[in-house]
């Protein structure tokens, strides 16, 4: 296993420049939802020519550039070097940077097969875990960010990032990584000295003003059921002190599980869109929501990718374990452009809200499940476009009903619009990007295709038998017309 082939070379702390002042940001209601949620993890793999990936060269030349550019980047994102805290005098938790705080950065060397990590084919789910840094948390504080750089001698390297979801969402995390890679590439190409930090391009500068997020009450949201009450319901054996900041245990599912990436090409997606639209009117819709289910001219790649992948997962799970046949889907949408007035695209923090589709739990495993689920996702997105993203006031009760009814809930991580394959630190674009944290639930990870504009990558972790059946269903379904 990969963990037996890795050695920690160094464990250092990288701080913003000394001139960076103390700063803090209150968490909004968008952030508070994720306060004790498990961290989000991503790994970016990069190939390197042998001279650069030799340990002596990498550790003495490339690593210092990565560390220096990280420090310069933290000058613009100081909160990521800090911690989530909840002062006794504050009504809300804060993410706070105090001079002396730093990002934990582990540097490791791995003798495991680098090309095996780049392969999309199923492999042991535990293999990726050796490359992921731990995010510390306790009842009184939690790290915002942790990093690990792993060198595969004479092959390449990986940068893994673990983030606290209450501090930033996927868009903010991607903004930080693109800022870091941009500064690193600039330093690498210009060979500028460490005491002359390059400027950060405007497109990568974060926006911190919390005043653009209106209070929940002004948005028509009733959040009277606070997070501590929900924690008591769903995690009765955990510390449910309302101010406890320790992340809840969502252990990875790695024993007997496989991790793999599947690709839908642009041609695949076009075929799926045509197929779904050709059968659109054969699937019923909720009578109360019928106006949102009229047949559209086309469908988004997100809708058909999600519907197709999750139906294949549900059928594979059901095929291996026939008693598991009830599924639901919850996913988040970016609210920045949906707020009134719109929130800047570079807003730092969380600005996502959860949605739950109206599909019946049995829809995922029925014959025309892809059509039914695509129709449900499209209808929900159209509903919030017309009525507002907060139009569904019964999310918590619906979630509770699903849990009590034995419904297994699918989730989605990442996005095919983040552009993660553009994260170039100066030695080329990633050879692969994956979201290891999908192994903590029935979750798929989405990214744009590395090889083709318009394609989508789907990453997932499933029990080995389920994965084998999923692969057959996924590939076979693309051949049908």
Say which residues have a Cβ less than 8 Å from residue 278's Cβ, sequence separation at least 6. Answer: none
Along the 481 residues of the chain, how does pLDDT read in single tens digits? 344 589 999 999 999 999 999 999 999 999 988 999 999 999 999 999 989 999 999 999 999 999 999 999 999 999 999 999 999 998 889 999 999 999 999 999 999 999 999 999 999 999 999 999 999 999 999 999 999 999 999 999 999 999 999 999 999 999 999 999 999 999 988 865 556 789 999 999 999 999 999 988 888 887 654 445 555 565 666 666 678 899 988 899 899 999 999 999 999 999 999 999 999 999 887 766 778 999 999 999 999 999 999 999 999 999 999 999 999 999 999 999 999 999 999 999 999 999 999 899 999 999 999 999 999 999 999 999 999 999 887 787 888 899 999 999 999 999 999 999 999 999 999 999 999 999 999 999 999 999 999 999 999 999 999 999 999 999 999 986 5
Residues assigned a catalytic role: 165, 424
Its sign, for the CA torsion 233, 239, 242, 245, is: negative
Domain 2-234: CATH superfamily is Chloramphenicol acetyltransferase-like domain (3.30.559.10)
Evaluate whether 2-234 and 257-417+427-477 have a shared fold.
Answer: yes
Domain 257-417+427-477 in this protein, CATH class: alpha beta
| CA distances from residue 99 to 71, 96, 475 in whole angstroms, order as listed | 13, 10, 53
φ and ψ at 143, to 5 degrees?
-60, 150
At 113 the pLDDT is 95
The two tokens of residue 204 are 């990568």
Closest CA to 29 of 91, 97, 87, 77: 91
Q: Which pLDDT value is given to residue 225?
A: 47
Count the neighbouring beta carbons within 10 Å of the beta carbon of residue 336. 18
Extents of the domains making up the chain:
2-234, 257-417+427-477
pLDDT tens, position by position, 225-235: 444 555 556 56
Q: What is the four-CA torsion angle of 266, 437, 415, 462, rounded to 10 degrees?
A: 30
- Please tell me the distance from the alpha carbon of residue 198 to that of residue 184, in angstroms, as a whole number: 9
Tens digits of residue pLDDT in 262-312: 999 999 999 999 999 999 999 887 766 778 999 999 999 999 999 999 999
Nearest Cα residue to 263 out of 434, 47, 409: 434
Rounded CA-CA distance 174/180 in Å is 10
Long-range CB contacts (within 8 A, 24+) of 448-453: 448/416, 448/417, 448/418, 448/419, 448/420, 448/421, 449/263, 449/264, 449/265, 450/421, 451/263, 452/265, 452/266, 453/266
CA distance 481 to 475: 13
How high is the pLDDT of residue 1? 38
Among candidate residues 471, 430, 478, the one with its CA nearest the CA of residue 451 = 430
Strands 443-448 and 408-414: parallel
Tokens of 218: 């002004």
Residues 6+ apart with CB under 8 A from 19: none
pTM: 0.95
Q: What is the pLDDT of residue 238?
A: 67
Show Cβ contacts of residue 175 under 8 Å, excluding neighbours closer than 6 positions. Answer: 204, 206, 346, 348
Q: How far apart are the first and last CA of the chain?
A: 41
Residue whose token pair is 């930090």: 197
Task: Provide the CA 378 distance to its chain's centre, in angstroms.
Answer: 21
pLDDT of residue 224: 54
Alpha carbon distance 283, 363 (integer Å) = 10
């Amino acid at each position: 296993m990969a963990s037996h082939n890795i050695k920690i070379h160094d464990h250092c702390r990288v701080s913003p420049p000394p001139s960076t002042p103390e700063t803090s940001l209150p968490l909004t209601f968008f952030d508070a939802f994720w306060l004790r949620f498990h961290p989000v993890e991503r790994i970016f793999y990069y190939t390197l020519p042998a001279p650069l990936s030799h340990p002596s060269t990498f550790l003495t030349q490339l690593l210092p550039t990565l560390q220096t550019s990280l420090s310069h980047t933290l000058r613009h994102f100081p909160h990521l070097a800090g911690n989530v805290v909840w002062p006794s005098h504050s009504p809300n938790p804060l993410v706070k940077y105090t001079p002396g705080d730093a990002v934990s950065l582990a540097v490791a060397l791995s003798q495991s097969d680098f090309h095996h990590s780049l392969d999309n084919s199923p492999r042991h789910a535990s293999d990726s875990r050796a490359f992921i840094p731990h995010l510390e948390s306790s009842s009184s504080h939690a790290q915002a960010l942790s990093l690990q750089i792993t060198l595969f001698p004479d092959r390449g390297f990986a940068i893994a990032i673990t983030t606290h979801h209450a501090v930033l969402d996927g868009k903010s995390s991607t903004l930080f990584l693109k800022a870091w890679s941009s500064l690193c590439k600039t330093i690498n190409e210009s060979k500028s000295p460490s005491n002359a930090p390059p400027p950060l391009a405007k497109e990568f500068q974060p926006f911190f003003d919390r005043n653009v997020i209106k209070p929940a009450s002004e948005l028509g949201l009733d959040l009277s059921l606070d997070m501590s009450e929900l924690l008591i319901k769903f995690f009765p054996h955990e510390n449910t002190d309302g101010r406890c900041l320790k992340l809840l245990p969502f252990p990875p599912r790695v024993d007997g599980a496989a991790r793999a990436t599947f690709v839908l090409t642009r041609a695949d997606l076009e075929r799926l869109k045509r197929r779904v639209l050709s059968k659109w009117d054969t699937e019923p819709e909720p009578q109360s929501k019928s106006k949102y289910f009229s047949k559209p001219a086309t469908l988004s790649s997100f809708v058909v990718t999600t519907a197709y992948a999750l139906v294949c997962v549900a059928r594979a799970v059901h095929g291996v374990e026939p008693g598991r046949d009830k599924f639901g889907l919850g996913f988040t949408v970016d609210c920045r452009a949906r707020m009134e007035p719109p929130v800047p695209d570079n807003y730092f923090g969380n600005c996502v809200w959860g949605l739950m589709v109206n599909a019946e739990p049995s829809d995922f495993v029925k014959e025309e499940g892809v059509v039914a689920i695509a129709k449900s996702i499209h209808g929900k997105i159209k509903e919030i476009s017309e009525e507002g993203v907060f139009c569904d006031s019964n999310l918590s009760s619906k979630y509770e009903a699903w849990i009590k009814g034995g419904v297994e809930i699918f989730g989605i991580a990442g996005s095919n619009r983040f552009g993660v394959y553009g994260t170039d630190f100066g030695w080329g674009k990633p050879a692969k990007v994956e979201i290891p944290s999908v192994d903590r639930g029935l979750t798929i990870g989405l990214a744009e295709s590395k090889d083709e504009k318009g394609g989508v990558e789907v990453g997932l972790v499933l029990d080995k038998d389920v994965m084998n059946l999923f692969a057959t269903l996924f590939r076979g379904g693309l051949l049908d017309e």
